[in-house]
Amino acid sequence: MSSSDADVVEWVVADMSAAPVEVALDSMKHAVTNEGAAVAALRDIAAPLVAINPDYRPTDVGTLERHGVKTVRRR
């Protein structure tokens, strides 16, 4: 998207492209079936959590923040 921060886009693309294919496929498979477990695990993560979401779908900011995920809106 043309309004996206170019540095952030470059970092996300480079980071995700560097992941082994097996990890990416396994992550996608479990992302669909483990939503409940993933949300429950957020309470146990000690690192800061940040959501990076596209603009084309609405983001449930309230739910993310209730689970300790920081949301940042950039335009």
- Residues 33-75 have pLDDT tens digits of 777 777 788 778 888 878 877 777 788 889 888 878 888 776 6
Structure tokens at 40: 């429950």
Cβ pair 13, 6 in contact under 8 A: no
* CA distances to 42, 46, 58 from 36, in Å: 10, 19, 20
Dist CA 3 CA 14 (whole Å): 19
* 37 found inside a domain: yes
47 lies in some domain: yes
Whether residue 2 has pLDDT greater than 60: yes
Quick one: DSSP state of residue 51?
E
Task: Write out the H or E segment, with its range, that includes residue 70.
Answer: strand 69-71
Asked if residue 1 belongs to a domain, the reply is: no
Q: How many structural domains does the chain have?
A: 1
* Range of the structural domain that residue 28 is part of: 6-71
